[in-house]
Amino acid sequence: MRPLREGLFAVGSKEACLCGPAFTMKAEVEFQNEPPCRDWEEYQRKIDPPGQLERFQEMFSTVQGKIIVTDIGGAPLGFWGSDNSMAVSNMGALGIIIDGGIRDSEEIKREGVKIWGTCRTCLHLWPRLKPIDDIRKGAGQTISCAGVKVRPGDIICADDDGVIVLPIEKAEAVLNFAKQTLAKDQKTRRRNYIDAGMAFDDTLGIKE
């Protein structure tokens, strides 16, 4: 999984890497056998049935300070676009991870939403989704995202290189190990910078 927005680094960046507890959700997709809409009115009825927006917002009422991890089974369809991703960002979500497609790429970049996915696509997902009430039932459950088990509250870390999941009961031990590894790496890299005649930068753990 790769970030839609480049320039998110794990250490010392002005835009630090994404890290926080998971808010999980699963959506089932009826992709293969979905017939095309006959006209614009049918498309609108499928994409925005009465009350869907309110139920969608209710589903994400507890996302503040969390990362939304979305399982759509790897379908190459755009669940998250510029509108709904910015809406959950405004509700306090730290970012979004999806085992599936992302649409409206340029708009999402400009909005500054942090989002990772398995592909970019122009295909809209919503007409192919099972009812929103079924999606709400899949919120807060253990899911599989890109083949990795994710439980609510597990720690998600993401940067330019991709996404990792830390089981919550192991997160503290992993953090301590990571700090030790980082300190050793920064010490070695500082020597490399000196040997190369390069000025230090903020990836080396030196505070100005």
Q: What is the per-residue pLDDT across 8-43, written as a single tens digit (0 to 9) for each?
A: 544 434 465 789 999 999 887 765 566 777 888 877
Write the pLDDT tens digit of every residue in 72-121: 888 888 889 998 899 999 999 999 999 988 999 899 988 989 999 888 88
**Residue at 36: amino acid letter:** P
Backbone angles phi, psi at 97, to 5 degrees: -120, 135
Write the pLDDT tens digit of every residue in 115-132: 998 888 888 776 666 655
CA distance 120 to 19: 22
Burial of 195 (0-12, 13-18, 19+ CB in 10 A): exposed
**Residue 208 has which token pair?**
């100005």
Residue with tokens 């499928």: 46
DSSP for 101-140 reads EE--HHHHHHHT--EEESEE-S-B-GGGBPPHHHHHHTTT
Pick the residue with more confidence: 59 or 181? 181
Q: What b/e sequence results for 23-59 when a residue is b if at least 16 CB atoms lie within 10 Å of its CB, and e otherwise?
A: bbbbbbbeeeeeeeeeeeeeeeeeeeeeeeeeebeeb
Q: Strand, helix or coil at 142?
A: coil
Question: Which of 63-67, 128-132, 162-166, 180-184 is predicted least confidently?
Answer: 128-132
Q: What pLDDT, on a 0 to 100 scale, did the predictor assign at position 125?
A: 73
Backbone angles phi, psi at 206, to 5 degrees: -105, 120
CA distance 194 to 65: 39
Domain boundary assignment for the chain: 2-166, 170-204
Q: What pLDDT, on a 0 to 100 scale, did the predictor assign at position 11?
A: 40
CA distance 6 to 39: 38
Backbone angles phi, psi at 15, to 5 degrees: -110, 95
CATH value of 2-166 in 3.30.360.10, 3.50.30.40, 3.40.50.720, 3.40.250.10: 3.50.30.40
